[in-house]
Amino acid sequence: MIVLKTRRELELMREAGRISATALKLAGQAVEPGVTTAEIDRVAADYIKSQGATAAFLNYNGFPATACISVNNEVIHGIPDKQHVLREGDIVSIDLGAVYGGYYGDNAYTFFCGRVSPEAERLCTVTKEALYLGLRKAVAGNRLGDVGAAIAQHCINQGYGVVRDYTGHGVGTHLHEDPSIPNYGTPGRGMRLLPGMTLAIEPMINEGTEAVRVLKNGWTVVTADGKLSAHFEHSVAVTDGECLILTRC
């Protein structure tokens, strides 16, 4: 079921989004060689708490941390770990959300740890561009397939693999609401977008093939070929014009 949000609800979602975006920014600023992923998680957790919000992912289906931190070949759902020390050249995808007034924000960004390879930089640039191309299609009257096609086409053109096993999603009073939002699709197909829909759009793009697998911890998704993966996400509200990015500082 798709729930269209009222103006009042969108205000709360903007606040949840602001907290989510600021927590993500602060976590990203903590990324540097020698820092552990657990320390980065702590930065995000402390900020969310300081705002009177709660961490959206903590205990979600048993997830043990505030942020998913996925390094290099890890695609999504990496678990922060005090043994995992970041190294120069790592790309570090941080995905986190906050709940405020009963509403969720959800966002992700792939940060650089020190200087990264040109290949890693290009993957991240293209994935971020793909997110914004998708957002540009998230307009009332368009269809979900328009969003997914815009994302996929840009990445496939660069020779990258578009992860199909995981998708974006509606977001609101729950972290994951309908509809699911694949990062691929056919223009003009799929559900029609309406003003008041709130969507988390999140391309997960692999340097190599689209194939992924889940590690034995039951959470961490990695590329099957061991190559790099990048992930960028915003929560947005559909309007008659440009979508409203909710996860903004």
> Under rule CB under 5 A, which residues in 174-203 are in contact with Mg ion?
200
Binders of Mg ion: how many residues, by CB under 5 A?
A: 2
Task: Report, in Å, the least distance between residue 200 CB and Mg ion.
Answer: 4
Q: Which stretch binds Mg ion (CB under 5 A): 9-17, 103-111, 135-143, 155-163?
A: 103-111
Nearer to Mg ion, 200 or 212 (CB): 200
Nearer to Mg ion, 106 or 207 (CB): 106
DSSP secondary structure string for all residues of 152-186:
HHHHHHTT-EE--SS-EEE-SSSSSEEEEE-S---
Helix (H) or strand (E) holding 128: helix 118-137
Distance CA 83, CA 61 (A): 23
CA-to-CA separations, 84 to 69, 75, 92, 228, 238, in angstroms, rounded: 10, 16, 12, 17, 38
Task: Report, in Å, the least distance between residue 202 CB and Mg ion.
Answer: 5
Task: Report, in Å, the least distance between residue 165 CB and Mg ion.
Answer: 14
Backbone angles phi, psi at 244, to 5 degrees: -95, 120
Distance CA 178, CA 169 (A): 6
Q: Which stretch binds Mg ion (CB under 5 A): 24-32, 36-44, 100-108, 137-145?
A: 100-108
Task: Report, in Å, the least distance between residue 76 CB and Mg ion.
Answer: 9
Task: Report, in Å, the least distance between residue 171 CB and Mg ion.
Answer: 7
Largest Cα separation within the chain, whole Å, is 48
Nearer to Mg ion, 162 or 200 (CB): 200
Nearer to Mg ion, 47 or 57 (CB): 57
Close Cβ partners of 118 (under 8 Å, ≥ 6 residues apart):
none
Nearer to Mg ion, 144 or 200 (CB): 200
Residue with tokens 């496939």: 156
Nearer to Mg ion, 116 or 237 (CB): 237
Distance CA 152, CA 150 (A): 6
The helices-and-strands tally (H runs, E runs) of the chain is 4, 17
Task: Report, in Å, the least distance between residue 40 CB and Mg ion.
Answer: 18
Q: Which stretch binds Mg ion (CB under 5 A): 34-42, 98-106, 122-130, 147-155?
A: 98-106
Examine residue 16 and tell whether it contacts Mg ion (CB under 5 A). no
Length of the chain: 249
Nearer to Mg ion, 90 or 106 (CB): 106
Binder of Mg ion out of 9, 106, 146, 210 (CB under 5 A) = 106
List residues near Mg ion by CB under 5 A: 106, 200
